[in-house]
Amino acid sequence: NAETKGNPHHKKVVNVAHRGASGHAPENTIAAFDKAFQMKSDFIEIDVQMTADGKLIAIHDTTVNRTTDGTGSVSDYTLEEIQQLDAGSWFGEEFAGEQIPTFEEILDKYRGKIGILIELKSPELYPGMEQKVAEALKERNMDKPRNGKIIVQSFNHESVQLSKELLPRIPHGVLAGMSWADVTGEELEEFATYADYFNPNMNIANEDLIDRVHGKDMKMWPYTVRTQEQADRLLDLKVDGIITDFPEYVHRHPGKN
């Protein structure tokens, strides 16, 4: 496994398709996840939220307004209602009729084919979400380390801690926005007690940060790359992975890395 073996400075960078290959197909849909698979990403990143009737689904915003033809809060829709929305047309007419997928559908469709980086999105809005994610994984016997191909992360670090207690054998990640630019050694040390990844906004990623993250035995997968220049800068920093809308920017160029 090129990701985990050998000199950490000469390994392949992990290619993570953000919300699927969302530069090419509507984010968090099967079309975007299939595209990521076709483009040979190592992982898809998915945003998980919960419907009014307690079903886990993949969508980024806490409303359906931007990425569907509906309006209103995700939490006000039942699964049946939310799956009637068109989650593809906003991106391009050729994607008309794409549905919001369920978390379980994604697990069943992509397990063993591509890694799944699961983001618990706004878990503070969805009490019990961590337990539901853990149950869905356990039901499928996916709560064991599978070459690290299932990872759970969140900006809500209490949620990450809770999930780690429920899924102790699954690697977890702490997401860190711009406000963590000056993260201290003590804070990193605390994160490392339950997380294996420290995944920052790419704009705070620099040599010092990656050294300090590695010093705590965590990996760093910055987000979200949308240009070749951004990818090249992070590749030069030798980050462990890159979360991108455009998987093609991260595939190594001949002679690079």
Indicate which residues carry an active-site annotation.
Answer: 18, 60
209 vs 181: CA distance, rounded Å:
9
Phi, psi of 149 (to 5 degrees): -85, 0
Spatial contact of 143 and 164, defined as CB atoms under 8 Å apart: no
In the chain, the amino acid numbered 85 is L
Q: Does the protein bind ligand G3P through residue 119 (CB under 6 A)?
A: yes
Say how far apart CA 102 and CA 108 lie, in whole Å: 10
- Which of residues 139 and 210 has its CB atom nearest to ligand G3P in the complex? 210
Closest separation in Å from C-beta 115 to ligand G3P? 13
The footprint of ligand G3P on residues 216-235 (CB under 6 A) is 223-224
- In the complex, the smallest distance separating the C-beta of residue 201 from ligand G3P, rounded to whole angstroms, is 8
CB of 219 to Ca ion, least distance (A): 17
Instruction: Confirm or reject binding of residue 45 to ligand G3P (CB under 6 A).
Output: yes
The nearer residue to Ca ion, 47 or 196, going by C-beta atoms, is 47
- CB of 96 or CB of 204, closer to ligand G3P: 204
Q: CB 96: neighbour CB atoms within 10 A?
A: 14
Compare residues 18 and 157 and give the one whose CB is closer to ligand G3P: 18
One symbol per residue from 24 to 53: x for binding Ca ion (CB under 5 A), - otherwise; what is it?
A: -----------------------x------
What contacts 14, CB < 8 A, 6 or more positions away?
3, 42, 43, 115, 221, 240, 241, 242
C-beta nearest to ligand G3P: residue: 223
Beta strand 172-176 with 197-200: parallel, antiparallel or unpaired?
parallel
Using the rule CB under 5 A, which residue among 3, 42, 119, 240 binds Ca ion?
A: 119
- Should residue 47 be labelled a site residue for ligand G3P when binding is judged by CB under 6 A? yes
Distance of CA 105 to the CA centre of its chain: 16
Cβ neighbors of 170 (< 8 A, separation 6 or more) are: 137, 143, 145, 150, 151, 152, 163, 164
42 binds ligand G3P (CB under 6 A): no
Q: What is the C-alpha separation between 157 and 195, in angstroms, rounded?
A: 9
| Choice from 110, 243, 244, 245 touching ligand G3P (CB under 6 A) | 243
196 binds ligand G3P (CB under 6 A): no
Q: Which stretch binds Ca ion (CB under 5 A): 89-97, 119-127, 145-153, 198-206?
A: 119-127
**232 CB-near residues (< 8 Å, 6+ apart):** 256
List interacting residues with ligand G3P (CB under 6 A). Answer: 18, 45, 47, 60, 119, 175, 199, 223-224, 243
**Binding positions for Ca ion, rule: CB under 5 A:** 47, 119
